[in-house]
Amino acid sequence: MGLLVFVSVLSGSSFALDNGLMRTPPMGWLAWERFRCDIDCAHDPKNCISENLFMDMADRLSEDGWRELGYVYVNIDDCWSSKQRDDQGRLQADPKRFPGGIHKLARYMHDRGLKLGIYGDMGTHTCGGYPGTTLDKIQLDAQTFADWEVDMFKFDGCYSNASVQEEGYPLMSKALNATGRPIGYSCSWPAYQGGLPPKVNYTQLGQICNLWRNYGDIQDSWSSVLNIADWFFENQDVLGPAAGPGRWNDPDMLIIGDFGLSVDQSRSQMALWAILAAPLFMSNDLRTISGEARSILQNKMVIGINQDPMGVQGRRIVKEKSGIEVFWRPLSGDASALVFFSRRTDMPYRYQTSLSKLNYTTGSYKAFDVFTNSAMVLKDSADFVVSVNPTGVVMWYISAPARLNVRQYFSSDRMQGSAYRLDKDNAIPRVFF
């Protein structure tokens, strides 16, 4: 309960983030899941956490079509720093693995139209055992990051406790703002407090952080993706209203292009993360990524859905005993997205429904399949069949007039308790046929 008591006093503007950043979910590349804390540059020079790795990924983002699609952040995670601070008490990069320093690396990113993210930890040490940012170091470290021209900061919570986090996460928000440099702020706070009220106050988090990790780290497996997705959709009535422009729930990295997902499962992660309005941070090796993985991650329609400026997080609307689930997200311009997902592991399943059964109003709609690039016109009352592969998805962009009967939708038994308000003001369509 201490979290609620402390955060309740932070409603004043002095602790509001108000940095104008990340009005759509941030996109980019993050080192952790794929490269972890590999610091053995003597024996693994291409994969160790070093400036060369991040420069390589920056080259790929800028030369292989990623940057133009919105993948602009190159984010350092743990194990980048020296084990000691410098003589002035400042954090410093490991001199052997980052001989040019972080400021030079930031300039390398900026010269290529990219942004640099960096990692710190609230506790005495980072999760990997490197120097942490204790309460007395918050202002100094925030200024150091600004001096280095860093664009994003992830603040982890290892080796800290609830009372330190209650004080430290808001203080870092204030300190970053005070530098005068726009720095996107990612907080791991809720993940260390169970992710849900009453220990987590999402209203206040939205005033302090641009995005936050709610749940545990993703691993390179389908079971991990499914576990994370299940938690987010099972708690959608709490998590959904917290998200919006400049404040995002973060289900963690995209592992598409690594070793643990099939092609169908890769499409499923991409589609479900788009429905969630999730940050899209890839953690893979862009130097060797397969063509299939690249085509999924560079799918313009899915990215357009994820980046919809209205910023409403989608939700699960149907959960069938057959193992089929349906997810829906409202989009700008009275459009919407539907995802048909199969939890089955046997064979493709032919799922029959209609738009009216999914609470669409009377009319004809154009449905565009984002992975097959096929389109069809559907009347709301006409039954249709989608064939969904095991652990796979079918994802549709439904163009206007795909407008849900909101009153009917939110008064139905399965939608009781939703707190959504669909704000159509200043909506700008982003996705076109």
Q: Residue 179 pLDDT more than 70?
A: yes
Q: Which of 279, 307, 335 is the last residue of a domain?
A: 307
Q: Which of 26, 76, 97, 38 is nearest to 303 (CA)?
A: 26
Q: Is residue 197 part of a domain?
A: yes
Q: Which of 307, 338, 364 is the last residue of a domain?
A: 307
pLDDT tens digit sequence for 120-142: 999 999 999 999 999 999 999 99
Same domain, 196 and 293: yes
Using CA atoms, how far apart are residues 306 and 271, in angstroms rounded to an integer? 9
Same domain, 218 and 352: no
Residue 400 has a pLDDT of: 77
Q: Residue 198 pLDDT more than 50?
A: yes
Active site residue 18: no
pLDDT tens digit sequence for 17-68: 679 999 999 999 999 999 999 999 999 999 999 999 999 999 999 999 999 9
Same domain, 212 and 257: yes
Using CA atoms, how far apart are residues 307 and 301, in angstroms rounded to an integer? 10
Same domain, 178 and 270: yes
Dihedral angle sign, alpha carbons of residues 151, 157, 159, 163: positive
Q: Which two tokens stand for residue 107?
A: 């300039």
Same domain, 287 and 350: no
Same domain, 301 and 349: no
Residue 348 has a pLDDT of: 98
Q: Which of 275, 276, 274, 393 is nearest to 342 (CA)?
A: 393
Q: What torsion, rounded to 10 degrees, do the Cα atoms 277, 62, 111, 150 define?
A: 30
Using CA atoms, how far apart are residues 99 and 55, in angstroms rounded to an integer? 13
H-run or E-run covering 184: strand 184-187
Which 3 state secondary structure label does DSSP give 398? strand
Residue 9 has a pLDDT of: 31
Using CA atoms, how far apart are residues 352 and 399, in angstroms rounded to an integer? 21
Q: Is residue 149 part of a domain?
A: yes
Q: Which is more confidently placed, 430 or 78?
A: 78
Strand duo 280-282 + 315-319: pairing: unpaired
User: What SS3 string covers 249-271?
Assistant: EECCCECCCCCCCCHHHHHHHHH
How many structural domains is the chain composed of?
2
Average pLDDT, integer, range 192-212? 97
Same domain, 330 and 284: no
Residue 15 has a pLDDT of: 41
Q: Is residue 417 part of a domain?
A: no
Dihedrals phi, psi of 334, to nearest 5 degrees:
60, 20
> Buried (b) or exposed (e) across 92-103, using 16+ Cβ within 10 A?
bbbeebbeeebe
Using CA atoms, how far apart are residues 326 and 354, in angstroms rounded to an integer? 12
Using CA atoms, how far apart are residues 431 and 307, in angstroms rounded to an integer? 9
Same domain, 95 and 239: yes
Category of 334 on φ-ψ map: left (φ > 0), alpha (ψ -120 to 50) or beta: left
Same domain, 240 and 386: no
Question: What CATH number is given to the structural domain containing 266?
Answer: 3.20.20.70
Same domain, 164 and 217: yes
- Active-site option among 94, 151, 156, 308: 156
Q: Is residue 141 part of a domain?
A: yes
pLDDT tens digit sequence for 77-117: 999 999 999 999 999 999 999 999 999 999 999 999 999 99
Q: Is residue 49 part of a domain?
A: yes
Same domain, 41 and 139: yes
Q: Is residue 337 part of a domain?
A: yes
Question: What CATH number is given to the structural domain containing 394?
Answer: 2.60.40.1180
pTM for this predicted structure: 0.90
Q: Which of 285, 307, 329 is the last residue of a domain?
A: 307
Cα→Cα distances 208→25, 360, 421, Å: 16, 36, 22
Average pLDDT, integer, range 173-191? 98
Cα→Cα distances 352→66, 349, 379, Å: 36, 10, 14
Beta bridge partners of 244: 247
User: From edge to edge, which strands make up the β-sheet containing 364-369?
Assistant: 315-319, 324-330, 336-342, 393-398, 364-369, 374-379
Contact 340, 393 (CB under 8 A): yes
Q: Is residue 252 part of a domain?
A: yes
Q: Would you mind telling me the total number of residues written for the chain in this entry?
A: 433
Which 3 state secondary structure label does DSSP give 353? strand
Beta bridge partners of 350: 387
- Active-site option among 38, 59, 147, 217: 217
State which residues form the domain around 332.
315-399
Same domain, 218 and 267: yes
Dmax (CA) for the chain in angstroms is: 72
Query: For a pLDDT cut of 70, what percent of the chain falls above it?
Result: 88
Residue 17 has a pLDDT of: 65
> Amino acid identity of 282?
M
Active site residue 77: no
Contact 337, 368 (CB under 8 A): no
Q: Is residue 13 part of a domain?
A: no
